[in-house]
Amino acid sequence: MPSNLTQPSFKFTLENSPDSIKESILNHLKYSLARDTHTATLHDWWWSTCLAIQDRVMERFISTMGKQTASGARRVYYLSLEYLMGRLIKNNLTSLGILPNAIEALKDLGLNPEDVLSEEVDMGLGNGGLGRLAACFMDSLATLDYPAVGYGIYYEYGLFEQQIKDGQQHECPDNWLKFGNPWVITRKEHAVTVNLYGRAEERVDQDGKKRYFWVDTAKLTGVPHDIPIVGYGTETVNFLRLWESRAHAEFDFDIFNRGGYIDAVQEKMRGETVTKVLYPNDVTETGKELRLVQQYFFVACSIHDIIRRFKKTPSWQWKNFSKHATLQLNDTHPSVAVAELMRVLVDEESLSWDEAWGICTEVFNYTNHTLLPEALEKWPLPLFQKVLPRHLLIIYEINSRFLQKVAQKWPGDLEKMRNLSIIEEGAPQYVRMAHLAVIASRYVNGVAALHTDLLKRFLFADFNALYPKKIQNKTNGITPRRWLKACNPNLSALVDETIGPEWTTNLDKLVGLEKHASDKSFQERFAKIKRQNKEVLSELILEKCGVSVDPDSLFDVQIKRLHEYKRQHLNLLNIIAAYQELLDNPGMDIVPRVFIFSAKAAPGYYMAKKIIHAINAVGEVINRDHRIKGKLKVVFIPNYSVSLAEKIVPAAEVSEQISTAGKEASGTGNMKLSLNGALTIGTLDGANVEIMEAVGRENFFLFGMTVEEVNALWARGYNPYDFYNSNHAIKRALDSLSGGYWTSGDYQSLQPLANNLLQGGDPFMVLADFNAYRETQRKIDAAYRDQTKWQKMAILNTARMGKFSSDRTIQEYADDIWGIKPLK
Ligand code: 26Q
């Protein structure tokens, strides 16, 4: 072979001038879409533009894969059931550094660039924070030149689309692939067969060794779809590999030959339902068979793919597997991977148990994202046995060896054994996935300092005693490319002009803004940009909610999944109290405020849906009450998504981070908002603690009980009626909900919400924190009146958020957990 063919080529042939981009777009319009410029729709233009970008991405993709394969270096395999990617077009242009030229090209073609970029539907393959974190991590991994593959599921339907009718949530399917997707590369040649159900049979092989065979299984095929992940300002392009389930040919054929054509087609359809839809994180969906099948399907495909890559180099030995691979479990959702890797190594590759277990404990790591006991994943044992009979035997073996260790450490302590066992006793028994993940993993991490501390002290206290170095903290982060540079171009330009552009890949550089925080003219420019962003958001609010809001009002934002622990209803009770006070005294001088909510509730989460209804009902009344002269507005923007967040975040002035202390593992919206100059009103929970430490106590509106105070109050006995009876504002607000005030006398519809906070025991202590919250909201009013002071605080928030870049987070994972090196 000529030597120039053995070396990957690093010369990129496509040019990036506006003219070359324009030419590429026109070529794709003609040759890929068979369209002319007169009949092309906006969708056609968007698609051709994506293909023009994808051509440039491909050159880097091919060269990166060549380099990574040739180096043989350790790769990180990120295993996640969710990737909340949002739109890719602007991100890819930003990362390639050709956004301005592409904009010029589109303008030249007589198009509105913003319209073309907005034509893309969000890739919403995630529920919330955990899925978006995976997306930010993929961005940082590529930007820092780390060899990485993200494995996941190619859901046909992402998180449901939310519609609001009569103030209530309705769910519609999110058919994001209806028109196909220009970013996807399907790799049919890497399709994988996956087994399910059947039985585990013990047989003696030719060498007289006992072995297990998994027989009479149902079979599925996994087809991988790759999405390139473009590093910012580097040549690295990694990829996401998402698996789609298809019917298995063998299976089809069997039934077909028996003459059952219709049966064969039905069987085919069953196989293809496995990756149809993303599960919402919903209590009513726990323990569902299809979810377990999904998890195993994706894990089996991914492990197979990792091993295929490993075995491509015949000289590599199993004992060196961990030199080439490290696997990160994004929560317990993919944790059946532990049993699957053991099965492949022991049953298929004939390694001894100890060799196989040694490999597992070197390559797996697990990230925990929740302390809520009800959110910890566990599977009814009979279900697990039916779907994965061989894996259950493997788990028994792992467990029995583990329990021997427990017995050595705590001789005779049966309660410890019961508490730590992978199998939860009871009728039925359960398989505890977090225990499996902790036992197999080299490192386990929490996602904020406080969260990790609580993991060590409570949830995993005994594990921590057994393995004192296993649990680490890795505080979450967000990518500054999407969450400042791309979503807030005017602020980015001001920052570039003031301190130079290095902040984009070194967010600590933002501290350079500190010395401008008190500078009058800088403050004015900073404030002007916020004001422009608020105007843009006001138009969106008018369009989506039919409510006209004044961009001169204070924009107060709570955007996140709807959950009682996040306490959107605490925010709402304060709004009601403020409104009632205003009605008593319409002349009262308050800072006009727009309360902006956006949130999806899990479809089966009754109370969350009630809270959405209540927000909309309260908004309906308040927004139309002329007596208060527009001093308060309440809007609920439907269908919260990544692309919607990109419009709300740059316009926010107050960020609501008001979860009950000890409940929010980290939060990442808190970081996005503060980075864009919003001031936080928040409890000492999750990453709020570290954000406050970074921006300064004086630039943060802290309120509420601490974790210790919450625990102490529970221990003493919490009675929400104590607060209801002694606090007039609370009583009046709750009475308005149960009395039908907001729903034209229909007292039944919102009463359950009030009841939940009283007879229901107020499980998230909304009433206990109400007073502190209300007082702190008043302080915000006072602070906002002094605009010089406010702007200084806002600038200092932006300036001091360097730590919360996902680049820093990824650097820490790479150094302390994965042991991987950049490959330039
Ligand atoms: C479980 C079983 C069945 C179906 C769905 C699920 C499921 C799916 C998604 C359970 C949980 C999730 C998502 C959890 C999540 O987003 N957690 C958030 O993770 C963020 C990133 O670390 C943190 O910042 C948030 O604090 C945490 O709530």
Task: Inform me whether the pLDDT recorded for 271 exceeds 90.
Answer: no
Can you give the length of the chain in residues?
A: 824
Distance 353 CA to ligand 1 centre (A): 33
Structure tokens at 302: 């991914």
Which residue type, as a one-letter code, is found at position 506? N
Q: In a mutational test of the pocket of ligand 1, which residue from 286, 298, 370, 451 has the highest number of ligand atoms less than 8 Å from its CB?
A: 370
| Residues 158-179 pLDDT 10s | 999 999 999 999 999 999 999 9
CA 644, 650, 652, 655 dihedral sign is positive
User: Distance (Å, rounded) from C-alpha 525 to C-alpha 491?
Assistant: 9
**What tokens were used for 429?**
């028994």
Q: What is the pLDDT of residue 261?
A: 75
So what's the pLDDT on residue 246?
Answer: 96
Which two three-digit tokens encode residue 228? 């390139």
295, 298, 335, 369: residue to mutate for ligand 1 pocket, most atoms within 8 A of CB: 369
Residue nearest to atom 5 of ligand 1 (CA): 281
By most ligand atoms within 8 Å of CB, the mutation choice from 130, 450, 690 for ligand 1 is 130
Ligand 1 pocket test, pick from 159, 281, 432 with the greatest ligand atom count within 8 Å of Cβ, gives 281
Atom of ligand 1 nearest to the CA of 281: 5
Q: Look at residue 374 in the predicted model and tell me its pLDDT.
A: 85
Contact residues of ligand 1, CB 6 A cut-off: 127-130, 133, 279, 281, 285-286, 291, 369-370, 375, 377, 447, 476, 664-668, 686
pLDDT tens-place string over residues 252-262: 566 667 777 77
Is residue 7 pLDDT above 60, yes or no? no
pLDDT above 50 for 9: no
Q: 286 pLDDT exceeds 90?
A: no
Mean pLDDT across 351-362: 98
Between the CA of residue 250 and those of 195, 199, 247, 258, what are the distances in Å?
12, 19, 9, 13
For residue 227, give the 3-state DSSP assignment. Answer: strand
Could you tell me which residues come within 8 angstroms of residue 708 by beta carbon, excluding any fewer than 6 positions away? none
Residue 750: phi, psi to the nearest 5? Answer: -105, -5
Nearest by Cα to 608 from 752, 771, 723:
752
Residue 450 CA, ligand 1 centroid: distance in Å: 17
Ligand 1: nearest atom to the Cα of 367: 22
End-to-end CA distance of the chain: 26
pLDDT digits (tens, 9 = 90+) for 499-542: 999 999 999 999 999 999 999 999 999 999 999 999 999 999 99
Question: Which of the residues are catalytic?
Answer: 369, 560-561, 566, 668, 672
Ligand 1 centroid–CA 407 distance in Å is 33
Q: Whose CA is nearest to atom 11 of ligand 1?
A: 281
Q: How far does residue 133's CA lie from ligand 1's centre (Å)?
A: 10
Query: Which atom from ligand 1 is nearest to the alpha carbon of 667?
Result: 24
When pLDDT is averaged across residues 430-453 and rounded to a whole number, the result is 98
Residue 325: its H or E element: strand 325-330
Spacing, Cα 72 to ligand 1 middle (Å): 33
pLDDT tier at 265 (50, 70, 90 boundaries)?
A: confident
Q: Where are the alpha helices (DSSP H) in 379-432?
A: 381-387, 389-409, 414-420
pLDDT of residue 252: 59
Q: Is the pLDDT of residue 194 over 80?
A: yes
622-662 tens-digit pLDDT: 999 999 999 999 999 999 999 999 999 999 999 999 999 99
Buried b (16+ CB within 10 A) or exposed e, 228-262: bbbbbebbbbbbbbbbbbbbbeebbeebeeeeeee
Ligand 1 atom 19 nearest Cα: 130
If one counts every other C-beta atom within 10 angstroms of the C-beta of residue 587, the result is 6
Among 204-218, 264-278, 749-763, name the one with the lowest average pLDDT: 264-278
* Model confidence pLDDT, tens digit, residues 443-496: 999 999 999 999 999 999 999 999 999 999 999 999 999 999 999 999 999 999
Whether the pLDDT of residue 583 is over 70: the answer is yes
Q: Residue 534 in contact with residue 678, Cβ under 8 Å? A: no
Taking phi first (over 0 means left), then psi (-120 to 50 degrees means alpha), and beta for anything else, what does residue 541 get? alpha
Percentage of residues of the chain with pLDDT beyond 70: 98
Quick one: pLDDT at residue 677? 98
Taking a C-beta distance cutoff of 8 angstroms, is the pair 464, 473 a contact?
A: no
So what's the pLDDT on residue 268? 78
> Is the previous residue joined to 380 through a cis bond, with omega within 30 degrees of 0?
no
For 50-117, give the DSSP string: HHHHHHHHHHHHHHHHHHHHHH---EEEEE-S-EEEE--HHHHHHHHT-HHHHHHHHHHTT--HHHHH
More confident residue, 49 or 281: 49
Tell me: pLDDT of 752 over 90.
yes
Band (pLDDT 50/70/90 cuts) for residue 266 is confident
In this structure, what are the phi and psi dihedrals at residue 802, rounded to the nearest 5 degrees? Answer: -45, -40
Nearest residue by C-alpha to atom 6 in ligand 1: 281
Res. 685: pLDDT tops 50: yes
Look up residue 503 and give its DSSP letter. Answer: G
Distance 669 CA to ligand 1 centre (A): 14
Nearest CA to ligand 1 atom 25: 667
Closest C-alpha to ligand 1, atom 12: 281
- What residue ranges define each of the domains in the chain, with the CATH number in brackets? 1-7+17-71+87-121 (no CATH), 72-86+122-475+811-818 (3.40.50.2000), 480-804 (3.40.50.2000)
Residue nearest ligand 1's atom 4 by CA: 281
Q: Which residues contact 122 (CB under 8 A, 6 or more apart)?
A: 85, 86, 87, 158, 176, 641, 642, 643
Q: What are 113-144's pLDDT values in tens digits?
A: 999 999 999 999 999 999 999 999 999 999 99
- Helix, strand, coil abundance in the chain, percent, nearest 5: 55, 15, 30
Closest CA to 605 of 259, 283, 322: 283
pLDDT of 6:
39
Distances (CA, A) of 478 to 510, 788, 804: 15, 29, 6
pLDDT of residue 4: 37
* Cα of 514 from ligand 1 centre, angstroms: 35
Please report the pLDDT score of residue 255 as a whole number.
Answer: 61
Beta strands in 606-685 (DSSP E): 632-636, 654-657, 679-682
Overall pTM surpassing 0.85 (yes/no): yes
Report the atom number in ligand 1 closest to the C-alpha of 126: 9
Residue pair 212/219 in contact (Cβ under 8 Å)? The answer is no
Which residue bears the tokens 């990453």? 687
Ligand 1: which atom is nearest the Cα of residue 687?
A: 24
Mean pLDDT (the chain, rounded): 96
Report how far ligand 1's centroid is from the alpha carbon of 285 (Å). Answer: 14
**How far, in Å, is the centroid of ligand 1 from the Cα of 237?**
27
